[in-house]
């Protein structure tokens, strides 16, 4: 039985690595290099739920090990399970394209191009509209029902994706009878 009071960020990070391995095998034939998976604050400056570094940023001092960073925004970790999986898979698409030498964004990484669109559609994402956002391009794909079903059948500990970084003010408001 799951005890939420014993849940740690290490548990979540470990599960994210497990998710990465499952998705890598299922969607990318296992070709992706293992990244450093982090959970960091987005600084409330971005609405981004995650990001993937465009070059390796983690590694050993001598460079024998180099890793990209796949980050999930701490503020969004308690969203719907499929939103979190959507974010992981979205960032893995970027890692796939980096690994294959395919440019899938422009405008300093904000505009997602047709190569990004093509790959996410192959993986079971869907778009509400068949036109790119003027500022962000094809970034706003969401997991379709079939992709959600497939992910839902994977051995992932869904119940642990329930905490997020909210901050002191949020918890103080809760304690005072507010809703955060």
pTM for the model: 0.92
What is the DSSP secondary structure assignment for residue 133, as one 8-state letter?
Answer: B
pLDDT of the chain along its 180 residues, tens only? 779 999 999 999 999 999 999 999 999 999 999 999 999 998 766 678 999 999 999 999 999 999 999 999 999 999 999 999 999 999 999 999 999 999 999 998 889 999 999 999 999 999 999 999 999 999 999 999 999 999 999 999 999 999 999 877 877 888 888 765
Enter the tokens of residue 153.
Answer: 């059948």
How many CA atoms within 13 Å lie on the side-chain side of 145? 0
Q: How far, in whole angstroms, is CA 75 from its chain's centroid?
A: 12
DSSP result, 78-109: TS-HHHHHHHHHHHHHHHHHHHHT---EETTT
- Could you give the CA distance from residue 141 to residue 77 in angstroms, rounded to a whole number? 19
**pLDDT tens-digit profile of 71-94?**
999 999 999 999 999 999 999 999
**pLDDT tens-digit profile of 30-49?**
999 999 999 999 876 667 89
Q: Looking at residue 177, what is its pLDDT?
A: 80
CB 157 within 8 A of CB 7: no
């Amino acid at each position: 039985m799951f005890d939420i009071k014993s849940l740690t960020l290490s548990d979540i990070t470990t599960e994210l690595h497990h998710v990465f391995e499952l998705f890598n095998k299922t969607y990318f034939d296992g070709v992706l290099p293992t990244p450093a998976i982090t959970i960091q604050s987005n600084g409330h400056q971005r609405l981004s739920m995650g990001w993937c570094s465009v070059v390796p940023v983690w590694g050993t001092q001598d460079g024998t090990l180099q890793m990209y960073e796949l980050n999930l925004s701490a503020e969004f970790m308690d969203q719907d399970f499929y939103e979190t999986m959507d974010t992981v898979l979205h960032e893995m698409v970027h890692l796939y394209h980096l690994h294959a030498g395919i440019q899938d964004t422009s405008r300093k990484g904000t505009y997602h191009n047709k190569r990004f669109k093509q790959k996410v559609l192959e993986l079971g994402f869907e778009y509400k509209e068949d036109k790119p956002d003027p500022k962000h391009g094809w970034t706003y794909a969401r997991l379709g029902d079939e992709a959600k079903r497939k992910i839902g059948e994977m051995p992932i500990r869904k119940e642990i994706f329930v905490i997020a970084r909210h901050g002191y003010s949020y918890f103080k408001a809760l304690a005072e009878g507010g809703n955060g």
